[in-house]
Amino acid sequence: MSGKVVIKLGGGLITDKGSMKTINTEAVRSVAKYVAEITDLGFAVLLVHGAGSYGHILAKKWSIASGSRRSILESQREAVSRIRKDMIELNSIVIGCLEEQGLQCESLPPSNWAMGTGKEFSGNLTIFENEKGVIPVTFGDVVDTNDGTEFGILSGDDIMLRLSNEMVGVGHAIFLIGDAPGIMDRPPHQDGAILLETWGPNDSVNSEHYEEIDVTGGIRLKMERASEISRNVQNVWIIDGRQPSRLLELLTRGQTIGTRIMPS
Ligand code: IP8
């Protein structure tokens, strides 16, 4: 089996989003185990992870997503370096779990190679063309901007879009989330929520965005980016990262429990 698989570990899967810098090491470890299995099968994995409580809480507190604000600029700059440091810490933990499985990784922090936010960010994506067997790992981060705002937030979902669409040979783009089996017809904690086996932008769902926690777009941004990816990549899925064996099932059988994402 071959081909590239771009996987995003959602911030809500690998951390507790509501409380500062709380990692869910067990979740990362169990995904890492399956990443090792699919690598053994011959797939080349590229990994992106979200920020969860290592990024969103401080970014929210200091309005980092909307760029520099003169009255609080010094505190914002301190927050920017703190968030970057915290993200490197989270990234090292993720990479540590992958290395425990015997995987070789290369960390590519966006603050070193990307400029600007949103899906049009600039950056040389050829650095993701790694030698065989080495997994490039990147993440949502605070990046510099060149539009006068000084800094902003680049979501891992935007990085997913660009990597999946621009790297040659991507057959699968898979978003692992931490609170549901896939896209549900209503917020997953609501009674009677039903898993949608497929979703495209013409299907309406009642999704929630926890703006008080999430400075990027939450599940909505993921769904939009996933759908854009599906115009170019055949297998785009949002699945439950708490059940990582589904990753293996999807890659070996072409099907699993989760939501297959369609173009519009
Ligand atoms: O969790 C956000 O990335 P995401 C990055 O992938 C920061 O949307 C630093 C909040």
The finding on whether 141 has its CB within 6 A of some atom of ligand 1 is yes
Does residue 76 line the site of ligand 1, with CB under 6 A? no
Ligand 1 pocket residue status of 215, Cβ below 6 Å: yes
Whether the CB of 158 sits within 6 Å of ligand 1? no
- Which one, of 237, 250, 253, lies nearest residue 197 by Cα? 237
pLDDT of residue 211: 56
CB 153 within 8 A of CB 140: yes
Ligand 1 closest atom vs CA 159: 6
The rounded Å distance from CA 55 to ligand 1 centre is 6
* Cα–Cα distance for residue pair 77/79, rounded to 1 Å: 5
The domain spanning residue 70 has which CATH number?
3.40.1160.10
- Which string of b and e fits 227-247 if b means at least 16 CB within 10 Å? bbbbeebebbbbbbbbbbebb
pLDDT tens, residue by residue, 104-141: 999 999 999 999 999 999 999 999 997 778 999 999 99
List pLDDT tens digits, range 26-42.
Answer: 999 999 999 999 999 99
pLDDT in 10s for each residue of the chain, 264 residues:
779 999 999 999 999 988 999 999 999 999 999 999 999 999 999 999 999 999 999 999 999 999 999 999 999 999 999 999 999 999 999 999 999 999 999 999 999 999 999 999 999 999 999 777 899 999 999 999 999 999 999 999 999 999 999 999 999 999 999 999 999 988 888 889 899 999 999 998 887 655 556 777 788 899 999 999 999 999 999 999 999 999 999 999 999 999 999 997
Domain carrying residue 255: 3-261
Distance in angstroms (rounded) separating the CA atoms of residues 233 and 227 = 10
Å from CA of 218 to ligand 1 middle: 9
Regarding the beta carbon of 214 and ligand 1, being less than 6 Å apart is answered: no
Q: What is the pTM of this model?
A: 0.96
For position 70, what pLDDT does the model report? 96
CA-based Rg of the chain, rounded to a whole angstrom?
A: 17
| Count of structural domains within the chain | 1
Please report which helix (H) or strand (E) contains residue 75, including its range.
helix 73-100
Atom nearest to 216 CA in ligand 1: 8
